[in-house]
Amino acid sequence: MNQKEINMNVALKDTLPIVCEECENSVFTEGVLLRKISRFVTGTAQDALMPVPVFACSKCGHVNEEFMPKDKK
């Protein structure tokens, strides 16, 4: 779902909590998966890095399946 499409006039009581699949913690921190792209794909002299934002559990570091990029699942 595109965040621009979300109606921001939603009460917290109308939402569902998300918890860590491993430890059931409900606090997450933003992290970045780094993917290397071959220079042969990019057409440049060096390999490139592509950052992919994800949310990881602040307690155990686990990344829930729903937070992983679709092609990484």
Q: Where are the domains of the chain?
A: 18-72
Q: Per residue in 12-49, pLDDT tens?
A: 999 999 999 999 999 999 999 999 999 999 999 999 99
Tokens of 32: 């970045």
Phi/psi at 28 (nearest 5 deg)? -125, 155
DSSP letter for each residue of the chain: --GGGS-S---GGGS-----TTT----EEEEEEEEEE-HHHHTSSS-EEEEEEEEEETTT----GGGS-GGG-
**Rounded-to-integer distance, Cα 54 and Cα 32, Å:** 6
* pLDDT of 54 over the 90 cut: yes
pTM above 0.85, yes or no: no
Pick from 7-11, 18-22, 54-58: least confident:
7-11
